[in-house]
Amino acid sequence: MLPLLLISTLPAFTLLLVVPVAAHKPFKLVRELGLVALLLARELLHHSASAAWGGRKERECGLRIMPSKAKAASALAAEEEREEPAAAALPLLDLPELVLERVLEELPPPSLAAMACVCAALRDRCSTDSLWERHVRRKWGQVLGAAARKEWEAELSARRSAGALPQPARRRGWADSLACAWPFSWISCRWLKGDAVAAEPAPAPAPAPVPALSPLAPPACSVAAWYRAVECGEFWFPAQVYNREDGHVGFVLSCYDAHLLYDRRTDTFTARYPPHGRKPAKEEDGVQWSRIRVPPLSTPAHDLHASGCLDDLRPGDNFEIQWRKNKDFPYGWWYGVVGHQEPCNANEHLCRCHDDDMVVLEFKHYAPGSRWRQTTVSRKDHREKGDETDGFYGGIRKLQTNEEISTWRKFWPADVLN
């Protein structure tokens, strides 16, 4: 019977074990023995097939070596590791819409750019303005304001009128151009090829229109293109710089308008200040993030700001005021504190300085007796006041938040100025 069992097929083997017992035992026992027979037959066929395949491989190699248990376990583990990714892989586009959107929102810019190279569907999803606006706010929100966006759009309009906006050579190639911002990313290889001087700092471009983007750049009208232009140092954007010219003593506790260019190699900015009278524009390298702010007002640097806070100023209030050396110069903003009138004893319960038509403005980083220490302005009829000797004072802006005040005080000089 045993030889017959070994060579029988699965149905025959099952029948040989089940039929003899069926005549003498209850049906339940017959069923259980039939299941056991099926399992035994399955194991027998499996091992027979494995042995036959192993013998064939050994004959082909001319070797008959039995692998050790350790090697067999190692081979089995490696095979399982190769199979796991395929089994665990889930098509990204099969995710629910909200889940996929959330995944893309969490990707950093280099990963988002790489994802856009996968397929047309992901390219369209990864290039939406809503995704890139998040990255613009996250990285550039401290330095890019409405004026920078407006200037970028004006530059695009000028290039469009001149026919200088190239069409991409291939639709998904724009992600390659983003790689310039992340030199250690795998997608940067194509960008850096052919750029023999990529490690050298690029010279500051002349004050001409922004050069046209390369054919591999993202669509020029997209937020991704704006992000790339700033990140790669291709766009001079307007902002304001504290303590210009590296804290020159003549500009301590001031903030001036400038155009800035980002240098991703040093993570700093180059500031270009507008000409002062007949003096040419000056540039300053190595400007740190902490010295830059978005202009809080839209008033151009050469225009007088219309002060709307004069009636609200009280002693102890913090403010910034426009000042310029002469009328050919642009205004800068200077930090100060509202002071008391001379007859006032500075008692908060008896002080009536806020009822006076004149407001005392103090710049306490200058020594007492200095001509820069104090000045007064009229609440009712404030205009630009001053002369060629002491300069001209312009509009006033009251500081409303502790954050603004603490930012100014970070630049307080170590020594009193004269």
Q: Give 292's contacts (C-beta < 8 A, 6+ positions apart).
A: 142, 143, 239, 240, 241, 242, 260, 269
- Of the two residues 7 and 120, the one the predictor is more confident about is 120
- Of the two residues 80 and 161, the one the predictor is more confident about is 161
Among 1-10, 26-35, 140-149, name the one with the lowest average pLDDT: 1-10
Check whether 224 has a pLDDT greater than 50. yes
What's the angle, vertex CA 152, arms to CA 123 and CA 333, rounded to 5?
A: 135
**What are 286-301's pLDDT values in tens digits?**
999 999 999 999 999 9
pTM of the model: 0.67
Burial of 361 (C-beta count, 10 Å sphere; 0-12/13-18/19+): buried
Check whether 25 has a pLDDT greater than 50. no
Average pLDDT over residues 329-347: 90
Query: Could you tell me which of 188, 181, 288, 185 has the C-alpha nearest to residue 225?
Result: 181
pLDDT of residue 17: 39
pLDDT of residue 125: 84
Check whether 210 has a pLDDT greater than 50. no
- Using DSSP's 3-state secondary structure scheme, residue 164 falls into coil
Check whether 44 has a pLDDT greater than 90. no
Average pLDDT over residues 192-207: 39
Residue percentage of the chain with pLDDT more than 70: 65
Check whether 229 has a pLDDT greater than 60. yes
- Of the two residues 93 and 179, the one the predictor is more confident about is 93
**174: its two tokens:** 């724009």
| Mean pLDDT over each residue of the chain, to the nearest integer | 75
Between CA 89 and CA 278 the distance in angstroms is 67
Length of the chain: 418
H or E, element range at 139? helix 129-140
pLDDT of residue 219: 67
- Of the two residues 29 and 236, the one the predictor is more confident about is 236
